[in-house]
Structure 1
Amino acid sequence: MVRRIFWMAVGAGAAVWAMGKANEAVHRLTPDSLSGTAARGALHAGDAAKRFALDVKAGMAERERQLRADLGLDGSAVVEPPRRLLRGAAADGSGRAISAAPGSPAAALPPSRTPRTPQAIVAKSRQRELPGRTTDRKDPH
């Protein structure tokens, strides 16, 4: 008799557990529940995308600050007017148009004494080369 009561209680408990799982599954598969789950997933994805975009923006701003500091564009490079406009300036040509950023390797270089100008490339007129004749050699005549 105790065995029968025990197995009846186990069966009733299993039935209650199975009915609870079935009701939960039915509730999960209703259109309202599915739309709510999709909306929560979309909100979660949107929040993750927003956090990613903010991280990328912060990284870009930090890298831009580093590049500006390395290139002297953050105010550490001093732009001086041309020497010919300054009154009473040394005429020895020792001034630079742009001073190097403090602490950079270029700051340790001595100022240039000769102004650098681009050299013009002189183009030779091209002659039509005939077979057996080159324009690079001098004529022996």
Structure 2
Amino acid sequence: MVRRIFWMTVGAGAAVWAMNKANEATRRLTPDSLSGAAARGALHLGDTAKRFALDVRAGMAEREEQLRADLGLDGTAVVEPPTRPIGRRGGAGRAISAAPGSPPVVALPPSRVITPHVIASTPRQLDQRRGQHP
């Protein structure tokens, strides 16, 4: 008799547990619940995309600042005028200093007059410019 009461109680408990699980599943699968879950997922995705875009913008600004500092575009580099006219060969080179009156940071080679070169578009034109006629 005790065994029958025990198994009847176990069966009733299992039935209650199964009914609760079934009711929970039906509540989760209603159209309102599904649309709410989809809306929450979309909001989460939008927040994640927004955070990613802000991180990318911050990284871009930081990198741009680094490049400007490295290239001297942030106003710290001053180009001193050449000591001789640009058209002459030799002479002292130009220097870029960090601020007026400070020692030069980078010395540049002396400036030279650059003569324009004509670019040949075909090998035959190149030979003609060198004086070699085919």
Fold-level similarity (TM above 0.5): yes
Aligned equivalent of 1:74:
74
Quick one: distance in 2 between partners of 1:64 and 1:41?
A: 35
Query: In structure 1, the residue corresponding to 2:48 is in which secondary structure?
Result: helix
CA deviations 1:71-99 (Å, max 9, x no partner) are: 1111111256x67xxxxxxxx43584x72
1:99 and 2:90 aligned: no
Which of these residues, 116, 121, 124, is aligned with residue 120 of structure 1?
A: 116
Asked whether the 8 Å contact 1:68–1:74 carries over to 2, the reply is yes
Asked whether the 8 Å contact 1:27–1:33 carries over to 2, the reply is yes
CA 1:119–1:100 in 2, change beyond 3 Å: closer, same or farther?
farther
Which residue identity is paired with 2:96? S
> Cα offset for 1:101?
4.5
Q: How does 1:1-141 map to 2 (within 5 A)?
A: 1-79=1-79, 92-93=83-84, 96=94, 99-101=96-98, 107-109=105-107, 114-121=110-117, 135-136=131-132
Give runs of ≥4 in structure 1 deviating > 4 Å. Answer: none
Name structure 2 gaps, 5 residues minimum.
85-91, 120-124
Q: TM-score scaled by structure 2?
A: 0.70
Report the count of equivalent residues: 115
Structure with greater strand percent: 2
Quick one: distance in 2 between partners of 1:52 and 1:122?
A: 50
Quick one: distance in 2 between partners of 1:42 and 1:62?
A: 30
The structure whose Rg is larger is: 1
Query: In structure 1, the residue corresponding to 2:14 is in which secondary structure?
Result: helix
Which residue identity is paired with 1:118? I
